[in-house]
């Protein structure tokens, strides 16, 4: 009984349900051949998780306060290139530059949004184009190889069976974000800003500081995952715009964040990204061609978008009584 009310009433139950459904479906599709339910799947799942999870976290947090940080895609690409270009000898230097750029980009965009009272989509679209441009200019439109192979191997080496350094960093960032949002005032203030900004101002939340902070954090996350992914792939490319935004937005939405603001939490976002990672690694393990993953992701996302539609119940309610009225 308790479980039933939990499933019905807790908005955070849905991502878990979808994740469970995906895993069960994939396990059934595997039909006991041990391709999906094997020891290597958790590792590959976490590797895929680490590719875009932090981008989804930054984007998701910006959605929680009713903004939308498009620039994460550009920052992700640009900082990946910066890390590869500057971190050849000393990988820490590359990461440092990348993080500094990501943070600065977030702070500057946040300041512009706050100072000029602008909508975030327009400002971060400008940021997105600028950073994609920076990536193209720095790499001269080429794919830049990262020659420091020991670092590339080190980042991906399995730790404790299922983790790698990359996915471990990702998990730590998520855990930190979850603790801060779940157990401190920061989390409640974030939700308050997302639900009703004017009310938040009135009760004394420093909304402007939060906006700048969230954009700074989101830039930081994008930079960290961009740099780590470039190291692990041992190359950086300025392309791949849609490769990042689709899973990031999908992960955040699947994880229970709504674009209307005021809902969501980091663990939900993590679950959302895990759903996508499970789909991808499962389909890979089953030997499905890559397009199946795109179609599955699109279908899941579209379903969730429709189910989340605020008018859905009203429309369905309107359809149902009609035959009765006619007869």
Partner 1 sequence: MEQGVLVPARRGGLRVFLRNRLNLLMAVRVTVIIVLLAACLLTPGFLSEPNIMALLTSVSFIGCVAVGMTLITISGNIMSFCLGATAGATAMVFVVALNWGGIGVGLVAALSLAALLNAAQGLVIGWVRANPIIVSIATLALIYGVAQMFAGSSAVYARPGTGYEIFKGKLVGLPVEFVVFLCVAAVGHFILSYTRLGRNLYMIGSSLRAAEAAGLKTWRSIAGAYLWAGIFTGLAGILLAIRYNLGNMDFGLGYDYDAVAAVLVGGTAIGGGQGSVLRTLAGAMVIAIVQALLLLLGFRQEWQYLIAGLIVLAVIILHTSGERR
Interface ranges with partner 1 (CB under 8 A) = 68, 112, 116-119, 121-123, 125-134, 136-137, 140-141, 239, 241-242, 245-246, 249-250, 253, 258-259, 289-295, 297-299, 301-302, 304-306, 308-312, 315
Nearest-approach distance from CB 117 to partner 1, in angstroms: 4
Measured from the CB atom, the residue of 247 and 266 that comes closer to partner 1 is 247
Least separation in angstroms between CB 235 and partner 1 = 18
Q: Is the CB of 103 or the CB of 259 nearer to partner 1? A: 259
Residues paired with residue 235 on neighbouring β-strands, in sequence order:
145
Q: Residues 162, 167, 169, CA angle at the centre, nearest 5°? A: 125
Minimum CB separation of residue 302 from partner 1 in Å reads 4
**Residue number, 204 or 289, with CB nearest to partner 1:** 289
In the complex, least distance from residue 281 CB atom to partner 1, rounded to whole angstroms: 17
DSSP per position, 96-116: HHHHHHHHHHHHHHHHHHHHT
Nearer to partner 1, 155 or 276 (CB): 276
State the minimum distance, in angstroms, from the CB of residue 129 to partner 1: 3
Task: Report the sign of the C-alpha dihedral through residues 223, 44, 154, 162, in that order.
Answer: positive
Number of H helices, E strands in the chain: 16, 4
**Spatial separation of the C-alpha atoms in residues 187 and 203, rounded to whole Å:** 15
Concatenated DSSP letters for 213-274?
HHHHHHHHHHHHHHHHHHHHHTEE-S--HHHHHHHHHHHHHHTT--TTSS---HHHHHHHHH
Backbone φ and ψ for 97, nearest 5 degrees, come out as -60, -45
Of residues 190 and 276, the one with the C-beta less far from partner 1:
276
Nearer to partner 1, 152 or 214 (CB): 214
CB of 249 to partner 1, least distance (A): 5
3-class SS of residue 164: strand
Q: Are 76 and 225 in contact (CB under 8 A)?
A: yes
């Amino acid at each position: 009984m308790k479980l039933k009310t939990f499933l019905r009433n807790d908005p955070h139950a849905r991502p878990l349900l979808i994740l469970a459904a995906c895993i069960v479906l994939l396990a059934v599709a595997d039909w006991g051949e041990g391709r999906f339910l094997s020891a290597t799947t958790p590792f590959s799942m976490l590797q895929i998780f680490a590719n875009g999870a932090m981008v989804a976290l930054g984007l998701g947090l910006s959605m929680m306060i009713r903004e939308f940080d498009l620039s994460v895609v550009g920052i992700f690409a640009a900082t990946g290139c910066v890390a590869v270009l500057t971190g050849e000898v000393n990988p820490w230097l590359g990461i440092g530059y990348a993080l500094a750029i990501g943070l600065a980009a977030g702070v500057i965009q946040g300041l512009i949004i706050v100072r000029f009272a602008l909508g975030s989509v327009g400002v971060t679209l400008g940021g997105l184009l600028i950073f994609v441009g920076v990536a193209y200019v720095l790499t001269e439109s080429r794919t830049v190889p990262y020659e420091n192979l020991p670092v590339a191997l080190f980042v991906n080496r399995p730790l404790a069976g299922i983790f790698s350094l990359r996915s471990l960093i990702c998990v730590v960032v998520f855990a930190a974000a979850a603790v801060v949002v779940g157990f401190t005032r920061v989390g409640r203030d974030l939700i308050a800003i997302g639900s009703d900004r004017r009310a938040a101002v009135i009760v004394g939340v420093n909304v402007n500081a939060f906006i700048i902070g969230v954009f700074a954090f989101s830039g930081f996350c994008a930079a960290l995952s961009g740099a780590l992914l470039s190291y692990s792939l041992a190359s950086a490319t300025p392309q791949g715009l849609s490769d990042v935004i689709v899973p990031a937005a999908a992960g955040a939405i699947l994880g229970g964040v709504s674009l209307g603001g005021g809902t969501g939490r980091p663990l939900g976002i993590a679950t959302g990204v895990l759903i996508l990672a499970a789909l991808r690694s499962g389909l890979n393990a089953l030997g499905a061609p890559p397009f199946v993953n795109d179609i599955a992701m699109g279908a899941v996302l579209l379903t969730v978008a429709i189910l989340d539609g605020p008018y859905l119940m009203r429309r369905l309610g309107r359809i149902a009584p009609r035959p009765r009225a006619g007869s």
